Amino acid sequence: MMRSLLNLLAAEAFLASTLILARHDFHDALSPLPGISYKIPEPGHRSPTNYKVTKTNFLRLHAVKGDGTNSRSAAAILGSHQRAVPGGGGYQNITSATSLGTQYAMDILLQDTPMQVYLDTGSSDTWFVQRDFLCTDYGGVVIPQEACGFGPGYAGDFQYGAIPGQHCFILYGDGEMIYGPVGYSDITVANITVKRQEIAFANTTYWYGNNVTSGVLGLAYPSLTNAYLGTGMEHDWLDAASYPPLFSTMVSDGLVQPFFAIAISRNSSGGLIGFGGIPPISGLDYSTAATTDIIITNLVDNPFTSWEYSFYTIIPDGFVWDGTTNTDKYPMIMDTGTTLLYLPPPLAEAINNAFRPAAVWIWQYGAFFTACNAKAPNLAVIIKGVKFFINPVDLIYKDIVDPLTGLCMTGISSGGAGPYILGDVFLQNAMAIFDVGNSKMRFIGRSYY
């Protein structure tokens, strides 16, 4: 189900092109956005984590090209929350160009049935489409299942039964929606079997699928789960029935240590994820390593997030490129569902100006483009004083070419008024350890390869 790059999100791309010029709109660290605020939690005593390599509890990620709007990314999800707040404006910086980005699929077992699901660190629910689901268009009209672009649907039911009087309703960033019952089933991932895990079945969907995955495995915090009381499509926070998502259950059941680690590979080959241990990958540079706090991202329309963690949000020390250093500090979300780096407009402009030749903004895409053989800047993200350099290969997308100019898209885009995201452009160059038990993010550099 192919969609036009130029028409898919033209309105948002135009808004992004307007915001990039409005330098006074971007915020500094911890100042609120419409519908979003940030808080650094009080430090507490926690046991140090032993980041051992796991020999069994890891699995390979499969890269698949997205055919939708990438609306499952953290930026798009936050945009949907902003739209829910009066005066929030609903800006979300998911452009048509990122719809061609890479998504990551995982092989798991639902009871004893192999399924492929989309890995998402920006959401928390685990759900699967059922075989006899209804696919709808944006207006709710039922259309052929093929239009939603799922892989094979699940033919069974909940292993331990449905939860009476509850349902799952998820509205993603660009209008994608899934609705269906919740219940309990066994899930096996990376050789770890979680008994009686609460999951959802999607039996009504509006979806932009990749024709491979049949659901989503969310790895964010419990505050972002989407189970609700009622028999209709209620999804107000007053009806919320929060529950422990899959990774939380793994930890509480004593199956793994409270962290997972992701290493995304270049050249769209996928990568590895380890639960309770570091996946066995080569090329780690332990001399380039840093640990920083996860801060609380408070969504105004979700009061649970005012005191609980939600997204994996950190505050880098700044950025350095070609002898220039910017130490302005902005909250940034670590997200495998986002392809590019979405930065404050002046910072995005300055880095794109450092390409040779300089990159130019093409509003139809909501992205910067430069010559496909351009020289990229020597760019690094600074975290706790450590510079994590980004391979220049990752800064120019030679497979995303504007047909009118022949230019290629860069890996640095404007985040407008926010939120700002460190996506796969960064994650291809550092293994990310999501230390949930200590509320920390740890990064280990990877050699250019």
**pLDDT of 410 over the 90 cut:** yes
* CA torsion through residues 6, 8, 14, 16, sign: negative
Q: Where in the chain is the domain with CATH 2.40.70.10?
A: 5-43+278-446, 58-256
**pLDDT of 379 over the 50 cut:** yes
Q: Is there a contact between 185 and 111 (Cβ–Cβ < 8 Å)?
A: yes
Interatomic CA distance for residues 203 and 150, integer angstroms: 12
Average pLDDT of the segment spanning 424-444 = 92
**pLDDT of 431 over the 90 cut:** yes
* CA torsion through residues 278, 284, 285, 290, sign: negative
**pLDDT of 413 over the 60 cut:** yes
Interatomic CA distance for residues 351 and 360, integer angstroms: 11
Interatomic CA distance for residues 330 and 319, integer angstroms: 11
Write out the two tokens for 116: 């492929």
- pTM of the full structure: 0.83
Q: What is the maximum alpha-carbon separation in the chain?
A: 61
Write out the two tokens for 219: 């790895």
**pLDDT of 441 over the 50 cut:** yes
Using one digit for the tens of pLDDT, what is the confidence trace for 26-61?
444 455 555 556 656 665 556 667 889 999 999 999
Interatomic CA distance for residues 3 and 89, integer angstroms: 25
Tell me, what's the pLDDT at 74? Answer: 52
Tell me, what's the pLDDT at 392? Answer: 93
CATH architecture of 5-43+278-446: Beta Barrel (2.40)
| CA 326 to chain centroid | 25
The yes-or-no answer on residue 107 being catalytic is no
Among the listed residues 67, 120, 394, 402, the single catalytic one is 120
Mean pLDDT is lowest, of 184-188, 257-261, 382-386, 415-419, for 415-419
**pLDDT of 90 over the 70 cut:** no
**pLDDT of 192 over the 80 cut:** yes
| CA 2 to chain centroid | 22
- Three-state SS for 356-416 is ECCCEEECCCCEEEECCCCECCCEEEEECCEEEECCHHHHEEEEEECCCCCCEEECEEECC
Judging by DSSP bridges, how do beta strands 113-120 and 215-218 pair with one another? Answer: parallel
Interatomic CA distance for residues 186 and 116, integer angstroms: 15
Q: Which of the two residues, 82 and 376, has the higher pLDDT score? A: 376
- What does pLDDT average to over the chain? 80
Instruction: Return the bridge partners of 167, or none.
Output: 181, 228
DSSP conformation class of 438: G
Tell me, what's the pLDDT at 44? Answer: 55
Write out the two tokens for 167: 């349902």
Interatomic CA distance for residues 194 and 276, integer angstroms: 14
* CA torsion through residues 256, 260, 261, 265, sign: positive
Average pLDDT of the segment spanning 99-110 = 79
**pLDDT of 329 over the 50 cut:** yes
Tell me, what's the pLDDT at 21? Answer: 33
Using one digit for the tens of pLDDT, what is the confidence trace for 67-79?
444 445 554 455 4
Tell me, what's the pLDDT at 147? Answer: 93
**pLDDT of 353 over the 50 cut:** yes
Tell me, what's the pLDDT at 388? Answer: 96
Q: Is there a contact between 390 and 383 (Cβ–Cβ < 8 Å)?
A: no
Q: Name the class of domain 58-256.
A: mainly beta
**pLDDT of 4 over the 90 cut:** no
Query: Which CA distances in Å does 177 have to 171, 203, 386?
Result: 5, 11, 40
DSSP conformation class of 42: P
**pLDDT of 8 over the 50 cut:** no
**pLDDT of 138 over the 80 cut:** yes
The yes-or-no answer on residue 335 being catalytic is yes
Give the CA angle between residues 78, 81, 84 to the nearest 5°: 155
Using one digit for the tens of pLDDT, what is the confidence trace for 151-173?
999 999 999 999 999 999 988 76
Tell me, what's the pLDDT at 156? Answer: 94
* CA torsion through residues 139, 141, 146, 151, sign: positive
Query: Which CA distances in Å does 33 have to 26, 83, 87, 330, 416?
Result: 9, 12, 11, 12, 11
Q: Is there a contact between 119 and 339 (Cβ–Cβ < 8 Å)?
A: no
Query: Residue 156: left (phi > 0), alpha (psi -120 to 50), or beta?
Result: beta
Q: What percent of the chain has pLDDT over 90?
A: 49
Among the listed residues 125, 335, 394, 435, the single catalytic one is 335
Most confident of 10-24, 259-273, 315-329, 332-346: 315-329
pLDDT band at 368 (very low <50, low <70, confident <90, very high): very high
Q: How far apart are the first and last CA of the chain?
A: 34
Q: What are phi and psi of 165, to 5 degrees?
A: 70, 15
